[in-house]
Chain A
Amino acid sequence: MTPGLLSVLIFFPACGVLALLPLRSDDHTWIRRLALTISLIEFGFSLWLLRNARIGWSGYQFQEFATWIHYPPINYHLGVDGISLFLVLLTTLLTPISILASWSSISHRVKEFFIMLLLLEVGVVGVFLSLDLFLFFLFWEVMLIPMAFLIGIWGHERRVYAAVKFVLYTMAGSILMLVGIIWLYNSTGTFDLAGFHYGKFDVAGVQELLQAGVLSLSPRTEMLLFLSFFLAFAIKVPLFPLHTWLPDAHVEAPTAGSVMLAGVLLKMGTYGMLRFCLPLFPEAAHRAAPWVAALAIVGIIYGALVAMVQPNLKKLVAYSSVSHLGFVVLGIFAFNNISIQGAVYQMLAHGISTGALFLLVGMLYDRRHTFEMSEFGGLAMPMPKLAAFFLFVALSSLGLPILNGFVGEYLILLGTYQVHWTWAAWAATGVILSACYLLWAYQRVFFGEITHDKNRTLPDISSRERGILIAMAVITLWMGIGSAYIIRRTAGSSQAVLDQMTRPQMHEAATPKLRTPQDATPRTAQRTQLAAERLGTR
């Protein structure tokens, strides 16, 4: 084990930012090189993490703990499990890719741009590694700022509108989450997620408290808490009908912003659901599941149909994310071992394939300064290589077997079918629709005769672009064939989410509750009495 590795992972990019600061702001070459180096080293760290992670271990590894604030007890508590491990890896992979993608397309405020990208990485990695609720919230908010700047400063025409919309939408959710966190703290006296006892503070994790039955929430409270978290995550995912910030944010964001947004930021929503909504509030999650699933399915179909008729290529990809993330949410809320593993896999696969789609769309934009498909057409002639990569990525996105999109989608549907076959049947129509919108878009952009003279002389991909695309293609293929490598490492943690959802009922009433002023319902009191009597008679 490597002590402090997680802290290094979080704060190394921040150190990188410090290193970038003294550079002259017009020295673009060195700024780019340094930023790339930093992000590559960071990627190296995460590979090191992967190498050292224990396989088949469901709990948190590499834990770090330090007391930060005594009262209320907010701790610097980090840890990684199978799920967050790969999300961190995805983040640290997509960051250098984004930097490379912005190599020549970003030409003003270059230093600030790369600083923002690295700060974004700090926030995102922090979110995935925090085990303390407050710390989690802190990073959640930290991530918001650089992303808003990325959209608002380096975006396209309506960038300010999109950035403000993005911030307000997310803030609306995170305020609710903050309320939920504070409420939960009031009920439990801890912000800690993992069940750990440290020194004299005796900080038992929320999970352990709940699981041991020390703390029980009334159904109403549990549902309210669940919703406060869930809404924040649902906005981030985004779940229909909270998705309208996404197309605007994507269309206006620079390529790197879109890649990070679609590739990683959306996953923070589904990650949050897995990490908080299910284990902390299982009863509420069960009650909400039919509704959530319905929204997810509507999102799958709705996102696909709206994507199909977009005249704007980037918006099409954005709506396709709504559809794909619907699959993930469905997989999570089917509460099935297979479907949750599929959901985790789909999160990773979507990060790669949609990230790659945005890269390709960005390359088209760099050449033609438009996303309108009517401006394209017949591009396979002037740029066959880009067309080939685009097709490859589109196929992975529509779930062609042996590419990455298939595994997750298949497992989600298979798992969901085992418990609710109607959900799976409805969701599976997304498989048809994804072929419709992607192939139609592909035809409009790349096939046919060239209709605009400007398109005749477009240069094919440069060697830098080819490097990026080959990397993405190789990962896509590898994830499609060697999925077992990843699933072996995430399986334990996926299963753990389900295990945490089942609670021993006996304990529930046996122990006195902690500070839960609003939870003293007569029914639990009665049950306590009954249990006590039963114990007494024996």
Chain B
Amino acid sequence: MPTQPMLEYLWIIPLLPLVGSAINGLFGAKWSNAIVNSVALGSTGLSFLCALEAVREFFAQGQVLVRREYFDWIIAGNFRAGFDLQMDQLTVVMVLVVTGVGFLIHIYSTGYMAHEGGYYRFFSYLNLFMFFMLILVLAANYVLLFVGWEGVGLASYLLIGFYFLRKSASDAGKKAFIVNRIGDFGFMLGMFLLFRTFGTLDFTTLFAKAGQWPAEAMGVYGTLTIASLLLFMGACGKSAQLPLYVWLPDAMEGPTPVSALIHAATMVTAGVYVVARSNILFVHAPTAMFVVAVVGCATAFFAATIGLVQTDIKKVLAYSTVSQLGYMFLACGVGAFSAGIFHLMTHAFFKALLFLAAGSVIHAMGGEQDMRKMGGLWKTIPWTFATMLIATLAIAGIPLFAGFFSKDAILFAAFQNSGGSHILYIFGLLTALLTSFYMFRLIFLTFSGKQRFDEHKVHIHESPWSMLGPLVILALLSIFGGWFALPTFFQGPDYFSNFLAPIFAGRELAETTSEVLVHQLELILAGVAVASALLGWAVAYWLYVKRPGKPERLAKSMAGVYNTLLNKYYVDELYAAVIVRPLVWLSTNVLWKTVDAGVIDGTVNGIAQGTGVVGDQVRQTQSGNTRSYAVWVLVGAILVIAVIFWPILKPVAGMAQR
């Protein structure tokens, strides 16, 4: 028996959910919900426990990177992609978030999905997702990471299209998969380039070699810059950044627990994880870093503006997720990787909570998602209200809640490292203001004011404890989850970034000014951030509580802006008009009907017909008529004679001509 059994057998952690998925998927159709539950929860719960044990062992052995090679998956020439798993500080964070939040959402789902058809199918997919997500975070090389990467995309596809009778649902699933594939195109090319340059795709070897690589200057498109940008393209797809974010809002077609787990807490953060994991490549490529920061910041702001006017409760949260992911990329782009991962973690808590609470609202409302038809719900569903309020305080960045610490760290880094111009910081701050506004708008529209629905038709009821339990736990995490960074405000150590330091060692951009000045600056910036959050809250309060008719009038007076935002800047329409429809038209009318059926087949059939025509003509000569044969014999004879006697005939012919 090895002394650290769990670290030896890391593969057990992802395998458990896979087994659960297979069992439920193959046999669950005939089982009752209770059996399906025990398989799904059992496998995920066990996986969580195993992850905890692995983390404990990881700490016990002094936090040294653990890397295990289990078997050769693909080998060809000097290329090897093994089924290799690893555990380091970054993995610890990710594994705990994935299994922990995942387990909570599994519990929640047993309540939420209890009356839905395809119960076993749902849990089979959900477990499958857990498997791939764990492969993604535990993988020790890019190829295996890509397995998880594509696999979570598959699970996402299946779960978004869970209600496959609805066309909008299957459309959304397809869109998610295809848009992700566009990103994967870049990701694959990035891997190929890395392999060509370094001859390996194993993290340890690759990063060691990349560490020796000279840093590429700003504006130089060297190998590492290109490779980083290609990887980032994949991250843009998976983490819904500009211009590939379009799939995520549509992904809300899936059941709400799916939105919480996949499209908020875990899968969409995979892009951030990859950038953080590849930090050494990015740090050596400042141009790529700059692009990451700009794209992240732009996405954060852009998505937040759309979130301002959405009326579907889940759509608001979806754009909020896009926006928050932008924050994480902004953090990575300015070199504050640990701040990005920190925000990834706190976001997983409060955004999962927001979605689950929203699910609880939808559950209570009997499926209604339009906030305009809600209102005044706080009395009837107090637990949901309380937990959702906590999550809102967290995401808005109210002090002492989790989101405050992580967002503050990001804004601080953006202020310090944006090279003089504070544009990134300013937009980051504006986004914080907008975030606070649209989140409180959501709270006010949903929970306060008058009920805007017919009480006799909708039977409002608080959700069962299987759903409220996870809400409460996540609410606690949304409060205390950020306290790792609390000591920094008293000039203490930052436990979180210290923990992750070995991963990002020496690569987080150096702080230039003195400690005390920095600390003062940090406090000032935190104050500014809090002020903007409070401002957002106040404006939302004024518009939606004090002056309930005001928003509509505002929308009317600024119809152009309002409609642009409401229609999400018409990006979907633009893509459809510029890419999708022309491509389909070209394929149908030019490639298929003109080139394939017309030119190529036309030529082939033309040759065949030509042969047929010639054959037909020649066939005419074989008429079976004796006299015509006699004529042919005569013609032939004359020709033969002509040929034989040509030397004699030639001068004669020449004379005749003259």
* Interface set of A (CB-CB < 8 Å, partner B): 165, 168-169, 241, 243-245, 302, 305-306, 308-310, 337-338, 341-342, 378, 380-381, 384, 395, 400-402, 406-407, 410-411, 413-415, 417-418, 421, 424-425, 428-429, 431-432, 435-436, 439-440, 443, 446-449, 481, 483-484, 487-488, 491, 495
Contact = CB atoms under 8 A, between A and B. Distances in A.
Contacts of A447: 161, 164-165, 167, 170
A168 B192 contact: no
A487 B75 contact: yes
B225 to A, nearest CB: 15
A401 B596 contact: no
Given A401-B147, A402-B147, A410 B583 contact: no
A423 to B, nearest CB: 11
Interface string B18-43: 00000000000100000000000000
A439 B178 contact: yes
Contacts of B196: 417-418, 421
Contacts, number: 136
Contacts of A310: 592
Contact of B584 (A165, A308, A337, A395): A308
B274 to A, nearest CB: 15
A406 B188 CA distance: 12
B174 A440 contact: yes
A395 to B, nearest CB: 7
A421 B196 CA distance: 10
Interface in B190-242: 191-193, 195-196
B154 A424 contact: no
Given A244-B596, A418-B195, A448-B167, 5 more contacts: A309-B588, A410-B143, A424-B189, A448-B164, A488-B75
Nearest to B79: A338
B185 A429 contact: yes
B507 to A, nearest CB: 28
Contacts of A342: 76
A309 B79 contact: no
B370 interface: no
B75 A484 contact: yes
A484 B73 contact: yes
B84 interface: no
Q: Is the interface of B mostly helix, strand, loop or mixed?
A: helix
Nearest to A444: B170
Interface string B78-108: 1100000000000000000000000000000
A435 B184 CA distance: 11
A392 to B, nearest CB: 11
B189 A417 contact: yes
Contacts of B71: 484
Interface stretch (B341-349, B534-542, B600-608): B600-608
Contacts of B604: 165, 169, 244-245
Contact of A415 (B73, B76, B189): B76
A437 to B, nearest CB: 9
A384 B165 CA distance: 13
B578 interface: no
A428 B74 contact: no
Nearest to B604: A244
A338 B191 CA distance: 15
Interface in B581-612: 583-584, 586-588, 591-592, 595-596, 600-601, 604, 608
Contacts of A395: 154
A460 B78 CA distance: 46
Contact of B165 (A378, A413, A429, A495): A378
B189 A487 contact: no
B182 A432 contact: yes
Contacts of B588: 309
5 contacts: A401-B146, A421-B192, A435-B178, A439-B177, A448-B167
A440 B79 CA distance: 34
Interface of B: 29, 71-79, 143, 146-147, 150-151, 154, 157, 161, 164-167, 170-171, 173-174, 177-178, 181-182, 184-185, 188-189, 191-193, 195-196, 583-584, 586-588, 591-592, 595-596, 600-601, 604, 608
A443 B596 CA distance: 25
User: Which residue, of A410, A413, A424, has the highest number of chain B Cβ atoms within 10 A?
Assistant: A410
B154 A400 contact: yes
B247 to A, nearest CB: 12
B587 A428 contact: no
A414 B79 contact: yes
Given A435-B177, A483-B74, A421 B193 contact: yes
Contacts of B75: 484, 487-488, 491
Given A342-B76, A411-B76, A431 B185 contact: yes
Given A417-B196, A428-B188, A306 B76 contact: no
Contact of A414 (B72, B167, B192, B595): B192
A403 to B, nearest CB: 10
A417 B194 CA distance: 11
A446 B77 CA distance: 41
A216 B559 CA distance: 79
A129 B289 CA distance: 55
A414 B195 contact: yes
Contact of A443 (B72, B170, B182, B193): B170
Nearest to B186: A428
Contact of B188 (A169, A384, A431, A448): A431
A432 B178 contact: yes
A488 B71 CA distance: 14
Contacts of B74: 407, 410-411, 483-484, 487
A51 to B, nearest CB: 21
Given A431-B185, A431-B188, A306 B596 contact: yes
Contacts of A381: 165
Contacts of B189: 417, 421, 424-425, 428
Contacts of A428: 185, 188-189
A302 B599 CA distance: 14
B161 A400 contact: no
A168 B606 CA distance: 13
Nearest to B196: A418
Given A241-B600, A431-B188, A302 B591 contact: yes
Given A308-B584, A447-B161, A417 B151 contact: no
A481 B366 CA distance: 44
Contacts of A168: 608
A253 B612 CA distance: 25
A338 B76 CA distance: 6
B76 A487 contact: yes
A484 B596 contact: no
A341 B591 contact: no
B165 A439 contact: no
A168 B596 CA distance: 18
B340 to A, nearest CB: 26
A309 B592 contact: yes
B178 A443 contact: no
A384 B584 CA distance: 30
A164 to B, nearest CB: 8
B181 A435 contact: yes
A266 B459 CA distance: 62
B174 A413 contact: no
Nearest to A161: B605
A91 B373 CA distance: 62
Nearest to B83: A481
B79 A411 contact: yes
B10 to A, nearest CB: 17
Contacts of B583: 305
A439 to B, nearest CB: 5
B76 A341 contact: yes
B165 A449 contact: yes
Contacts of A380: 164
Given A414-B195, A421-B193, A483-B73, A402 B151 contact: yes
B262 to A, nearest CB: 17
B178 to A, nearest CB: 5
A384 B30 CA distance: 13
A443 B165 CA distance: 10
